[in-house]
Chain A
Amino acid sequence: MAKTIRKVPALNASSMADISFLLLTFFLLVSNMDVDSGLARRLPPPPQTEEQTTVDVQRRNLLVVLVNAQNETLVQNQQGTQLYANEAELRGDGGKVALKDVVKEFVLNTQNSALLPELSEEDFGAPIGTVPVTAQHVISIQNDATTSYKAYIAVQNEVVRAYNELREEGSRKYFNTSYEDLTEDQQGQINNLFPQRISEAEPKNYGGQ
């Protein structure tokens, strides 16, 4: 063993920048920053038995949204029927009541109409308290075999928009702030107040092709 302490020669680190640039370029190229976005939905579990496939829903609690093969949308509940020929009409063009307003009125039932879902008092905790809600309402979105995906998503989007607006309004009413600014718990309360009750029905074959 040498007794003298040997000096380590200084390492030339000038190429460090080049190496890290190389690595940086590699990660720049392979990374894809775009975050996937979409309409989140929850499917019902597969039917276990034959009886489970049908659930009885009272007529007044049901809003049927049917998108047919011509991509027209038929909205039907006990109050009446509305036909939307295209996407613009869904948003309220052409003197029609926009789909989102139909959905909102259906979910709220402000007039306590006998043709809209029944109201029941429920407690949602402070500061909302006990308010009447249509806990049993169901929005059933149905489609035909040759409906285009685009039209289907447009309808889904309008229904989700209605719920989002309801939640926004509820948030303004009870918390005096926008839904986005609420805490997670408060958002949960509002979500409980207006749960998305959208049913994507079992596939049916409507006559014709």
Chain B
Amino acid sequence: MPALNSSSMPDIVFAILFFFMVTTTMRSETLMVRMKLPTASEVQKLEKKSLVTYINIGAPMDTRLGTGTQMQLNDRFAQVSEIQDYIAQEKASMNEADQPLMTVSIKADEETRMQYITDVKQALRQAYALKISYSARQGGN
């Protein structure tokens, strides 16, 4: 059996490697809240991940913390009153040109009560983070 010439294998692997290096986003926080996103059919994809800030809302993964609705900003639980600081912080870490394009993605469990979402929305308004997106899974009819 003739030996297969594998000298171009590194080139191919490097090509795939560069693809993943370019598409990857390193910032993935570990989720501390359990959430089942609602489904919607008319969802739009959020372009430009670097412009998106996430707010996770749901019941804590750790059942010892109860089943009440909690909010996770970055890697810790937070109160609604801390949103303004969080948004200001996230805004400051962006390019000045990108700041008006900042989008806040609200990832909330479908069983969340609207009172909580409304409070979050009000806080976002106060923080001038006016572009929001209600995160939802594509599906339904």
Cβ contact of B42, chosen from A42, A45, A161, A200, cutoff 8 A:
A161
Contact A38 B124 (CB under 8 A): no
Contact check, B45 vs A149: say whether CB atoms are below 8 A apart.
no
Is A203 located at the chain interface by the 8 A CB criterion?
A: yes
Give 1 or 0 for each of B2-16: 1 = CB within 8 Å of chain A CB: 000010011001101
**Complex Cα gap A146–B107 (Å):** 18
User: A28 interface residue, CB < 8 Å from B?
Assistant: yes
With A and B bound together, what is the CA distance between A31 and B24 in angstroms?
A: 5
Interface residue ranges of B116-141 to A (CB < 8 Å): 117-118, 121-122, 124-126, 128-138, 140-141
> Does the CB pair A38–B134 fall under 8 Å?
yes
Chain A contact surface mostly: mixed
What residues of B have a CB within 8 angstroms of the CB of A149 in the complex? 38, 108-114, 117
Counted as pairs of residues, one from A and one from B, with CB atoms less than 8 Å apart, the total is 151
Taking a contact as CB atoms under 8 Å apart, the answer to whether B134 and A156 are in contact is: yes
In the bound complex, do residue A39 and residue B42 qualify as a contact, i.e. CB atoms below 8 Å apart? yes
Residues of A within 8 A of B135 (CB): 36-38
Residues in A with CB closer than 8 Å to B121 are: 43, 200
In the complex the two chains form, is A143's CB within 8 Å of B118's CB?
Answer: yes
Please tell me the size bucket of the interface on B.
Answer: 35 or more
**B17 proximal to A (CB < 8 A):** yes
List chain A residues, Cβ under 8 A from B126.
46
* C-alpha gap A160/B44 in the complex (Å): 11
Bound-complex Cα distance A148 to B41 (A) = 18
Stretch at the interface among A16-24, A72-80, A109-117, A180-188: A16-24
The answer to the question of A97 belonging to the interface, with a C-beta cut-off of 8 Å to chain B, is no
Closest partner residue, chain A, to B6 (CB atom)? A17
Q: How far is the CB of A86 from chain B (nearest CB, A)?
A: 13
Of the A-B pairs whose beta carbons lie under 8 Å apart in the complex, a sample of 26, sorted by A's number, is: A13-B10, A17-B6, A21-B13, A32-B24, A32-B28, A37-B136, A38-B46, A39-B44, A40-B103, A41-B133, A42-B131, A43-B124, A43-B131, A45-B128, A143-B114, A143-B118, A148-B110, A148-B111, A149-B109, A149-B117, A152-B117, A153-B134, A154-B40, A161-B41, A164-B42, A203-B118
Binding site for A on B (CB under 8 A): 6, 9-10, 13-14, 16-17, 20-21, 23-26, 28, 38, 40-46, 49, 52, 54, 103, 105-115, 117-118, 121-122, 124-126, 128-138, 140-141
Measuring CB to CB, which residues of chain A are less than 8 angstroms from any residue of chain B? 13, 16-17, 20-21, 23-24, 27-28, 30-33, 35-46, 67, 91, 143-150, 152-154, 156-157, 160-161, 164, 200, 203
